[in-house]
């Protein structure tokens, strides 16, 4: 049977590989990006108009400023501590030049943006992590900014909304990066003990030290469809157990099934639901 199939000439695309031909780009010269889920080439203009979500529902990576633009009410966002910048405090080889090139390519000074905003009219402290800044890795400045935001929110009695994306702790800052997990968690706890609300929106991918600290500490945890959420990297797990990983491993859908997140929300519904949740927690 296998031999027969080998000699049989496929009649069409479907017989060849069972894949549909990729859709043609809508205009001849437009730039497009291939969707890793459905395999179609999606024109960039379509992505820009649709919160960077493919027709098939796949959420593309989105930079922090874009996310703030769709999450916060128009003109309501005021950035805090935007001038804080990482330094090569341990003289780690290559880190200084890596920081310099990242700052110019990402046009951001750090992997998290913090500030105050309103969402659906409700005031909150907001942090959004930046995937294009060293994959949202957490060094001392990321830890410091998030800690300050929780302290600020505790002081001003504001809820916190936080969007996470991170490869984990930033190894170029060594043991001090690891300590940021405890520092941020301590600030989250003091905020929580004051009876204030914390909502996390976990986006793809959120792993390592960020999962094992403030990403998982929300009162309400929302995830984007298909987001990878885990502690250990999938490759390390595969090498350790020497088995193929199950379907849906570390995916938001699996995390929901196992009870670790509250809900999965498509991007275009996030603002509405978060706004409603915030308004249900307004304290008189």
Partner 1 sequence: MKTAYEIVTAARSKDRQTGLEFIEHVFKGFIELHGDRRYADDPSVVGGLACLDDTPFTVIATEKGRDTKSRIRRNFGMAHPEGYRKALRLMKQAEKFGRPIVCFVDTSGAYPGIAAEERGQGQAIAESITEMMGLKVPVLSVLIGEGGSGGALALAVADEVWMLENASYSVIAPESCANILWRDTDKAAEAAENLKLTAKDAYRLGVVERIISERGGDTELMYVSLASDIRSWYQKMRIFSGEELTQTRYGRFRKLGVPGSEQ
CB of 234 vs partner 1, minimal distance in Å: 9
CB of 216 vs partner 1, minimal distance in Å: 4
Name which of 38 and 176 has its Cβ closer to partner 1.
176
Name which of 70 and 249 has its Cβ closer to partner 1.
249
Name which of 33 and 79 has its Cβ closer to partner 1.
79
CB of 67 vs partner 1, minimal distance in Å: 22
Question: What is the three-state SS of the chain?
Answer: CHHHHHHCCCCCHHHHHCCCCCCCCCCCCCCEEECCCCCCEEEHHHHHHCCCECCCCCECCCCHHHHHHHHCCCCCCEEECCCCCCCCCCCCCCHHHHHHHHHHHHCCCCCEEEEEEEECCEEEEEEEECCCCHHHCECHHHHHHHHHHHHHHHHHCCCEEEEEEECCECHHHHHHHHHHHHHHHHHHHHHHHCCCCEEEEEEEEECHHHHCCHHHCCCEEEECCCCEECCCCHHHHHHHHCCCCCCCCCEHHHHHHCCCCCEECCHHHHHHHHHHHHHHCCCC
CB of 219 vs partner 1, minimal distance in Å: 12
Name which of 203 and 250 has its Cβ closer to partner 1.
250
Residues at the contact surface with partner 1, assessed by CB under 8 A:
84, 87, 89-94, 139-141, 143-144, 147, 169, 171, 173-183, 185-190, 193, 208-209, 211-217, 229-233, 236-237, 240-241, 243, 245-246, 249-250, 254, 258, 260
CB of 223 vs partner 1, minimal distance in Å: 13
């Amino acid at each position: 049977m296998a031999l027969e199939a080998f000699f049989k000439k496929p009649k069409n695309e479907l017989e060849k590989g069972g894949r549909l031909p990729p859709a043609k780009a809508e205009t001849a010269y437009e730039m497009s990006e291939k969707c890793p889920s459905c395999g179609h080439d999606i024109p960039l203009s379509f992505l820009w108009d649709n919160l960077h979500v493919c027709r098939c529902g796949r959420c593309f990576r989105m930079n922090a400023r874009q996310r703030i633009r769709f999450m916060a009410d128009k003109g309501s966002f005021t950035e805090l501590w935007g001038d804080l910048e990482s330094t090569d405090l341990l003289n780690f080889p290559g880190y200084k030049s890596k920081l310099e090139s990242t700052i110019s390519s990402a046009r951001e000074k750090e992997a998290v943006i913090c500030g105050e905003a309103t969402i659906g009219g409700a005031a909150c402290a907001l942090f959004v992590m930046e995937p294009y800044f060293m994959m949202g890795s957490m060094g001392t400045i990321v830890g410091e900014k998030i800690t300050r935001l929780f302290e600020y929110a505790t002081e001003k009695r504001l809820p916190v909304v936080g969007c996470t994306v991170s490869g984990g702790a930033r190894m170029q800052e060594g043991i001090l990066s690891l300590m940021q997990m405890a520092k941020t968690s301590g600030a989250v706890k003091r905020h929580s003990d004051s009876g204030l609300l914390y909502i996390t929106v976990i986006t793809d991918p959120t792993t390592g030290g960020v999962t094992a600290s403030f990403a998982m500490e929300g009162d309400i945890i929302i995830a984007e469809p298909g987001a990878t959420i885990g502690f250990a990297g999938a490759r390390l797990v595969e090498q350790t157990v020497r088995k193929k990983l199950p379907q849906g491993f570390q995916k938001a859908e699996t995390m929901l099934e196992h009870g670790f997140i509250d809900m999965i929300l498509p991007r275009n519904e996030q603002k509405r639901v978060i706004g409603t949740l915030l308004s249900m927690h307004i304290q008189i």
